[in-house]
Amino acid sequence: MSKRDYYEVLNVQKNASEDELKKAYRRLAMKFHPDRNTNDDSAEDKFKEVKEAYEVLADPQKRAAYDQFGHAGIDPSMGAGASGFSGGFGDFNDLGDIFESFFGGGRRGGGGGNRAFRGADLRYDLTLSLEEAVFGTDAKIRIPTTAVCKTCQGSGAKAGSSPQTCPRCGGVGQVRMSQGFFSVQQTCPRCQGTGKTISNPCGSCHGSGRIKEQKTLSVKVPAGVDEGDRIRLSGEGEAGLNGGPAGDLYVQITIRAHSIFKREDNNLYCEVPISIVTAALGGELQAPTLDGKVMLKIPPETQTGRVFRIRGKGIKPVRGGPVGDLYCQVTIETPINLTLKQKELLQEFEDSMKDNNRHTPKQNSWFDSVKKFFEEMKF
């Protein structure tokens, strides 16, 4: 093994603190770990070199001897050599968090195959109409789920028998496995971490202790919910294992598009078509809201795109606060399917305005801008 300067190996200063040494070691150990460098034959040597340097510098006595005499001041038998991870790290208690990701679940739970596990959470997508979301509703949903097997009461064993202690792991749910020159714990492959084996499985659940079923639930949707909101139903998720609690069910809200209204936060928006006569002369018309009709007054000479605000006709927030508003945007509808007489009248109306520019100020201003634009263009 290379005998480079140990401080150089760890890339730290000679006055580095214990924490700085440990951080440097963790970073380099992660970088050169053989299981992460399967295509690099030199990674294992670099890893051992980093380990050797840290084992010396992390020990105050060895570090003092090394600082005074260099490599000659330390006992070679205390290096990494063939001793694996002996010395200051034993069974990785200090650095288990680094290597846990290499060997899935090796340190999980610390044994105990009979430990209860909480069931998984579930999600259900509930689609509502805008009215249901605004005013609230009681929705019935039917969901697939898992429940504790009633035949075996969740044990997984056939009536008259019971689960036995796993002979592979002795009931702890974990076994020690060798990977390269490491010895780590993994979930027992025979009992899948439960610590028990079942020789006579239950006929209903086939040894799992849980069965699939459908159940109908009532979901109380509060008034004012919006797209993306979630409603939590505690304990309505999958059943737990070994007597563990059930998970939760999260109902995710989506809202169907409405034929009239669009929602943005707590406000509603709608488009109101009006005739050119109403736009020019003014008038009143009925505008829809989610709880009835209101009269919308259109003033004379209203232009297309104008927005009218009706206060308090929006949505009351689900978490409290002021009610939103309704915004009505008017659009002027051009008449179609005209009779000959109607066309003649419109032409007569158009001719009557040709000599008076004050009737169409926006149009005249636009034409003036276009004329100026072309005059200033350089071809």
Q: Which CATH class is domain 262-333?
A: mainly beta
Determine the topology of domain 122-255 in CATH: Chaperone, DNAj Protein; Chain A (2.10.230)
Determine the topology of domain 6-99 in CATH: Helix Hairpins (1.10.287)
Amino acid identity at 61: Q
Quote the pTM value.
0.54
15/176 Cα distance (integer angstroms) = 39
Domain boundaries, the chain: 6-99, 122-255, 262-333, 344-376
Sign of CA pseudo-dihedral 77, 81, 85, 89: positive
Please, what is the average pLDDT of the chain?
81
Question: In this structure, are residues 212 and 144 in contact, taking their beta carbons and an 8 Å threshold?
Answer: yes
Q: Is the pLDDT of residue 27 over 50?
A: yes
Q: Which residue, 180, 213, 218, 172, is CA-closest to 196?
A: 172
Averaged pLDDT for residues 106-115: 46
Question: In this structure, are residues 256 and 242 in contact, taking their beta carbons and an 8 Å threshold?
Answer: no
Shared fold status for 122-255 and 262-333: no
Q: Is the pLDDT of residue 347 over 80?
A: yes
Q: What is the pLDDT of residue 45?
A: 84
Residues in CB range of 96: below 8 A, 6 or more apart: 107
- Helix or strand (DSSP H, E) at 178: strand 174-179
Lowest mean pLDDT among 75-79, 210-214, 246-250, 320-324: 75-79
Cα distances (angstroms) measured from residue 311 to each of 77, 267, 283, 303, 308 = 85, 10, 20, 22, 10
